Amino acid sequence: MQGGIELLQEKKWHSLEAGQVARDLGSDLEQGLGQEEVKSRLSKYGPNALKEPPPRSLVSMFISQLKEVLVLILIGAAIVSGALGEWEDTVVIMIIVVLNAALGVFQENKAEQALKALKAMTKTFVKVLREGKVTQVEVDSLVPGDVVLLEAGDSVPADARLFEAASLRVNEAALTGESVPVEKELNTIDAEEVPIGDRKNMVFMGTAITGGRGKAIVTETGMNTELGRIAQMLQETPPDPTPLQRQLASLGKTLGIAAGVIVAVVFLTGMFRGENLIEMFMTAIALAVAAIPEGLPSVVTIVLALGVTRMSRRKAIIRKLPAVETLGVATYICSDKTGTLTKNEMTVTQVYVNGDLVQVTGTGYHPQGEFLAQSGEQIEPLKDKNMELMLLGGALCSDARIEKTEKGYQIIGDPTEGALVVAAAKAGLKKEEAEEKYPRLGEIPFDSTRKMMTTFHNMKGTVYSFTKGAPDVLLAHCNELVTPTGIVALTDKIRLQILQVNSTLASQGQRVLALAIRKWADVPANPTSETVEQSLAFVGFFAIQDPPRQEAKEAVAVSRQAGIRTVMITGDHQDTAVAIAKELDIWRSGDGILTGAQLEQMSDEELKKHVNKTTVYARVSPEHKLRIVAALKANNHVVAMTGDGVNDAPALKRADIGAAMGITGTEVAKEASDMVLLDDNFATIVNAVEEGRTIYSNIRKSIQYLLSCNTGEIVAIFSAILFGLGSPLTPIQILWLNLVTDGPPALALGLEPPEKDVMKRPPRSPKEGVFAGGMGIAILIQGTLLGLLSLASYWLALIWGRTLEEAHTMAFLTLALSQLVHSFNARSLDKSLFTLGMGTNRSLVYAFLLSVSLQLAVIFVPFLRKVFETALLRPSDWAVVLSLSIIPLIFVEISKLFKKAQPVVGQFASDYQKKNI
């Protein structure tokens, strides 16, 4: 294998003719490779992917857990205990250290596995020629000798030698740093040592096609590419922490300082009270560990990872973790129309030619249907030369293809172009046969700015160009009209009639594409839009229907309830856009409509004033999206933006959440995005917002629970020592609480299902802290309550004359059980547990039962009872422990009831006051 790779690397592919490259690689430019040959080469050269660092072993994860500062402090405490002869304490502390590290490894490994599974779902595909057929394959499966088809918006999948190029431009900034796209050409370059930027007949992995189309034969894959060589020289850098993780790291530092102060105060207070020096040292160390929720970062990581995995099941792939947090604060969703708000089952329903509308039956991509005159009579489209010209031009001036699969017919390429190919097939004109009969001699690829595409074909010895595009745009470039009697001048009157038909169809929600032709003596040298797409003869147009998605209408309604405004941005005609927007309830009476032409006339300040009331943008180019996003952000909105084209990439990057289309989206758009919609469905964005809000809410619940429990431990120990009662808990008991009552319930709270009203609340403010909404106060109150309950249990045991072991056991059990009961309170800040339902979070029920079982084990299992210095309790003591443990649930339920009653009482008082005045 290695020898074969070295042999390929010796070649200077840019200096060879394309045919010679194919021969050297044992391939065929017309047929590509065979499937068996691909398998053989894949085993020889390996997958076409950059090598990743090997996954971390469980041992290395375990060692990294032991490097944590607090764990090192704990290990130091164990060593001190051993030096003082307290071997039992040393053993127990080390067991707890190992268990805590094992739990951390489990959580870290689970998070990594979830992210690994997620990465496997974000496969990239490329169009390739194999055994003479164009098909889509995963980029990883490319091998040297494969023939790939490239077009605007694609990321180049491997290093390759071009042998066909039509206005092909490539952005190679990733390799060369040159921001201006390179115009590619096919000529050989004689010099052997040529800089990458000057190898104009080559394309390189990781670069982006910004315009045109081409074909190339793969010369190098994986680590043998130019990008692979660079990757080999670079060291892997760890991923940046998310804003939430940075916020929690800051919180951890604050808590660390606070814990240090508290520990010092507790230790000095104990010393002042005459407590045992060694015992107070161990208590202070244990309290330091208990005061800081060291399990929180791993809980957050695993909750984020599992949440992102849940999103993937709902067809939303999160590429960048910060998007999860941002989703929860989105106030605007700017969405494409075609395929996102509509079904993307593009079907030609009518053809306008010879001044008449002809209906086309059949739906979807199945090439079966009839052509009906306005009278309802079936007609034979190929018997009308202009209808044949219309259908033939639509198929030839398209890059899409129909492919039959086991599940039916599918389109490879743009769905709108696919609809034209299907319409031609319904009349008996197969694209492959038409291309063979009338080969493409040249082209000017589609450009979203000019909204047109042109191809040149040899038709019976004469060169014709077909230009397709938006009717209003195309008509502006036409001065002639194709009629049954021949080509005539296009008068203003006829032009107006055509535009009226177009407007009528557009107002019915139809998308309209026009076609024009021009005759040439020969294909122009260096054809441009300015020289070619002028003086055209108008043939007719296609009316294409793409019905709105029912789920999109429901999702728009959910978004409105959630305080998120939906905006439609489309290149379609204004009437088409408004018709669909009305049906989806995006546009309502009083809402604004802006066209691309109007946007061009507006300054940024004027646009800033209009965006708050505009819900439909029609006839806009991707460049306008950038201005719309900027204007919304200038009004302090958090914007999610969808896009699919290469020109959408800047807007996707500029938006707070860039959502690329998974089906129709270009690789460049996907690379620029934070999220990929696998089904190109608007409802998926709204589902992702719900998941994003739920994930953030659940992380806050875990934080609330952990910090209130830690506060309880501090309050119990500090208060007891302050009042001269000694410590109510032994150091080992404190560490055990930190392990058993913190980890499992906190993780289970992170898996809490969405609350029913999560999409009925307004978006939270991006500036809102983790403790907003009264959570900080709740943590202090609830933590103080937990601590005082444990202290009460300890005090009662002492005044009842119980032994110190029994008193410690009562305080230990009360604090543990009250914390576990409190985990059910943390499920919501304001909703009653009985409203949420006990069994709606089964993970928490299981975590509760597990933690209770472990807690009871240290009381009832004899050897554990000795280790943890606990004692068997009397029935009356158990009654106290259980009674006190249930108090947090009762207290919080009553406080929630009062909180809920406040607005009602306030309204009643207000109404009463008005009535009596």
C-beta separation of 642 from 659 below 8 A: yes
Between 448 and 118, the more confident residue is 448
> What pLDDT is stored for residue 1 in this prediction?
34
In the block, tokens 């077009």 appear at 151
pLDDT(144) > 80: yes
* pLDDT band at residue 862 using 50, 70 and 90 as cut-offs: very high
pLDDT at 235: 40
Q: Which of 880, 884, 815, 820 is nearest to 852 (CA)?
A: 820
- pLDDT, one tens digit per residue, over 468-521 is 998 989 999 999 999 999 999 999 999 999 999 998 988 888 889 999 999 998
Extract the tokens encoding 759: 């999409």
Q: Which pLDDT belongs to residue 290?
A: 61
pLDDT in tens, 210-227: 778 899 999 999 888 887
Tokens of 870: 């606990």
Q: What is the pLDDT of residues 610-653, one digit of tens each?
A: 999 999 999 887 778 889 999 999 999 999 998 876 667 788 88
User: Which residue carries 């004689």 as its tokens?
Assistant: 190
3-state secondary structure of 380: coil
Locus of tokens 């290093």: 159
130 sits in which H/E element: strand 125-130
Instruction: Name the more confident of 116 and 479.
Output: 479
For the record, the structure tokens of 721 come out as 């020592």
Q: Which of 583, 558, 590, 551 is nearest to 568 (CA)?
A: 583
> What percent of the chain shows pLDDT beyond 70?
84
Residues 6+ apart with CB under 8 A from 640: 327, 330, 332, 333, 334, 655, 656, 657, 658, 659, 685, 689
Q: Comparing C-alpha atoms, which of 243, 305, 239, 240 is closest to residue 766?
A: 243
Structure tokens at 865: 């009872």
Do the Cβ atoms of 533 and 453 come closer than 8 Å?
no
Bridge pairing between strands 462-469 and 510-520 = antiparallel
Is pLDDT at 69 greater than 50 in this prediction? yes
Amino acid making up residue 169? R
Q: How far is CA 914 from the centre of its chain?
A: 52
What digits encode the pLDDT tens for the residues 175-220?
Answer: 765 656 788 888 888 876 777 878 889 999 878 887 788 999 999 9
Q: Residues of the chain with pLDDT > 90: what percent? A: 38
Q: What is the H or E stretch that residue 440 is in?
A: strand 440-447
pLDDT at 853 over 90: yes
Taking 80 as the threshold, does the pLDDT of residue 800 lie above it? yes
- Report how far residue 160's alpha carbon sits from residue 16's, in angstroms, rounded to the nearest whole number: 12
Name the residue among 211, 238, 234, 212 with its Cα closest to residue 223.
234
* Contact predicate 22/217, CB 8 Å: yes
C-alpha to C-alpha distance for 392 and 425, rounded to whole angstroms: 10
Q: What is the radius of gyration, based on Cα positions, of the chain?
A: 35
Please tell me the predicted confidence (pLDDT) of residue 474.
94
Q: Which token pair is 573?
A: 């005609």
User: Please, what is the Cα angle at 563 between 559 and 567, to 5 degrees?
Assistant: 60
Q: Give yes or no: 336 in active site.
A: yes
Distances in Å between the Cα of 384 and the Cα atoms of 65, 387, 427 are 78, 5, 11
Q: Where are the alpha helices (DSSP H) in 348-467?
A: 385-396, 415-426, 431-437
Instruction: Judge whether 349 and 656 are in contact, CB under 8 Å.
Output: no
Give the residue-averaged pLDDT of 397-424.
86
pLDDT value at residue 189: 87
- What is the helix, strand, coil percentage profile of the chain, to 5? 50, 20, 30
Residue 395 CA: distances (Å) to CA of 174, 177, 215, 376, 457? 36, 39, 20, 25, 12
Residue 546 has pLDDT above 90, yes or no: no
Whether the per-residue pLDDT at 799 is higher than 60: the answer is yes
Q: How confident is the model at residue 714 (pLDDT cuts 50, 70, 90)?
A: confident
**Stretch 25-39: mean pLDDT, rounded?**
91
The confidence score (pLDDT) of residue 646 equals: 63
Q: Check residue 613 and give its pLDDT.
A: 93
Tell me the average pLDDT across 753-770. Answer: 84
- Structure token digits, residue 33: 């490779």
DSSP 8-state symbol, 725: -
What is the separation, in whole angstroms, between the first and last Cα of the chain? Answer: 94
Question: For position 623, what pLDDT does the model report?
Answer: 76
SS3 802: coil
- 3-state SS, residue 714: helix
Q: What is the mean pLDDT of the chain?
A: 83
Contact 131, 37 (CB under 8 A): no
Distance (Å) of CA 722 to CA 267, 300, 394, 703, 824: 11, 35, 87, 28, 31
- Per residue in 743-752, pLDDT (tens digit) is 789 889 988 9
Place 4 in a pLDDT band, splitting at 50, 70 and 90. Answer: very low
| Pairing label, strands 639-643, 332-335 | parallel
Q: For 144-172, what is the mean pLDDT?
A: 87
Per residue, what are the HEC states of 264-309? HHHHHHHHHCCCCHHHHHHHHHHHHHHHCCCCHHHHHHHHHHHHHH
| Strand-pair partners of 511 | 544
Which of 336, 414, 674, 877 is the catalytic position?
Answer: 336
Cα–Cα distance, 53 to 42 (Å, whole number): 21
pLDDT the model gives residue 207: 82
Mean pLDDT of 397-402: 88
User: How do beta strands 452-459 and 440-447 pair?
Assistant: antiparallel
pLDDT tens sequence across 233-289: 544 444 455 556 566 666 666 766 776 777 787 778 777 777 777 777 766 766 666
Residue among 176, 162, 179, 157 at smallest CA distance from 213: 162
Collapsed DSSP state (helix, strand, coil) of residue 29 = coil
pLDDT score at 909: 45
pTM: 0.69
Alpha-carbon distances, residue 816 vs 46, 401, 671, 809, 855 (angstroms): 55, 66, 48, 10, 7
pLDDT above 80 (res 50): no
Q: Which segment of 107-116, 394-403, 526-535 scores lowest on mean pLDDT?
A: 107-116
User: Which residue matches tokens 């809490």?
Assistant: 752
Is residue 145 within 8 Å of residue 27, measured between CB atoms? Answer: yes
Q: Helix/strand/coil (H, E, C) string of 604-662?
A: HHHHHHHCCCEEEEECCCHHHHHHHHHHHHHCCCCEEEEECCHHHHHHHHHCCEEEEEC
For residue 912, what pLDDT is reported? 42
Region 122-137: what's the mean pLDDT? 84
Which of 433-437, 460-464, 658-662 is predicted with the least confidence, judged by mean pLDDT? 658-662
Q: Is 70 exceeded by the pLDDT of residue 111?
A: no
